[in-house]
Amino acid sequence: MAASMSATIDIEHPALPEAQAFPDFTGWQEPERDGDRVIPFRQALREAMQFAMREDERVFLLGEEVAEYNGAYKISEGMLDEFGPKRIIDTPISENGFAGMAIAAAMSGLRPIVEFMSWSFSLVAADQILNNAPKMLYMSGGQWGCPIVFRGNDGAGGQLGSTHSWCVEGLYSNVPGVKIVIPSNGLDAKGLLRTSIADPDPVFFLESERMLGDTMHVPEEDYAIPFGKARVAREGGDCTIVSFGRPVNFCLEAAEALAQDGIEAEVLDMRTIRPLDIDAIVESVKKTNRVVIVDQCWPFASVASEVVTQIVEHAFDWLDHQPVRVNTADVPTPYAKNLEAEYLPNAGRIAEAVQGVVRS
């Protein structure tokens, strides 16, 4: 009988990322929302990336047309000139390929920012971003993290048709291991993107093409906003309206119209849905006893569905009316401009839902 033999094979693992100086949120306060400096949403995103790249040479941006063309939506305008072609990288139209390459870079110690021209196109890279990036830390027993940011336009961009108008948060938020950020304004977008780039986990940062030109006061200095910290966008005592992303602006419009009718609605901007600030929602529901959730996803198995579930689990005894959802219509996104407007959770539909909750 032959003697058994064994050999030891040494495997050289990639270097683990160095410890990142994560923003210190001790004593954190909301950024000042009033001031003379007014810039577009796209510039707020650019400033967040510039601050991060100046601070940490491991941060780089890649995606379709981000370099030579200054970005398909001019978000990365001027960044190639400042940081050069090794850190601002144009990619082929191959989301699966460049998403996988960026994940490998993150595992090797870099901090990529991947721009999807549209989150609709991220479906091509689903195996990479949903099956690999979120599970890497768990499946490697803690040996490899994946500090990566995937960002780009989410939702109906204005007559782009059904296949280019996905709201992916309802689908992607089901996956453990990712953090999902959906800002409603430029000030929050800058602070949340800074936090996203410093975060040790994969972050999905969902923007709206329809808001890129929106202007507001954004502080010039560098700042960060913590995840899982909702913002009270408007105070009120008659009904809580919970939302995130672009629909927050429709909620505020509806709340102003409702005030003319004697109904004072409180609007909560969630900012992130993973993690979800359920404590802020419960606190508001205890005050108003009524809640409407506004979500630009399709209604079945949506983010709104999860929020309703958690409200019932945590605040059932404070409800004087069942929670009501206002979602995108349960049909493919129409191309026609008027139909798309009705398809989305617009101010009229939101006001009608709140009136029904308050007056029934």
Residues carrying an active site annotation: 95, 164
In this structure, the number of other CB atoms found within 10 A of the CB of residue 28 comes to: 13
H or E, element range at 288: helix 278-288
Single-letter code of the amino acid located at 258: L
Q: Taking a C-beta distance cutoff of 8 angstroms, is the pair 233, 255 a contact? A: no
Phi, psi of 266 (to 5 degrees): -95, 130
Three-state SS for 280?
helix
Single-letter code of the amino acid located at 340: E
Three-state SS for 352?
helix
CA distance 64 to 67: 8
Q: Taking a C-beta distance cutoff of 8 angstroms, is the pair 212, 157 a contact? A: no
Instruction: State how beta strands 239-243 and 111-116 pair.
Output: unpaired
Q: Taking a C-beta distance cutoff of 8 angstroms, is the pair 340, 222 a contact? A: no
Residue 116, class by beta-carbon neighbours within 10 Å (0-12 exposed, 13-18 middle, 19+ buried)? buried
Q: Taking a C-beta distance cutoff of 8 angstroms, is the pair 37, 220 a contact? A: yes
Phi, psi of 108 (to 5 degrees): -90, 0
Question: What stretches of 88-234 show up as alpha helix (H) in DSSP?
Answer: 95-107, 126, 136-139, 169-172, 186-198
CA distance 145 to 256: 45
Q: Which two tokens stand for residue 88?
A: 């601002």
CA distance 78 to 71: 9
Buried residues in 271-305 as b, exposed as e (16+ CB within 10 A): bbbbebbbebbbebbeebbbbbbbbbbbeeebbbb
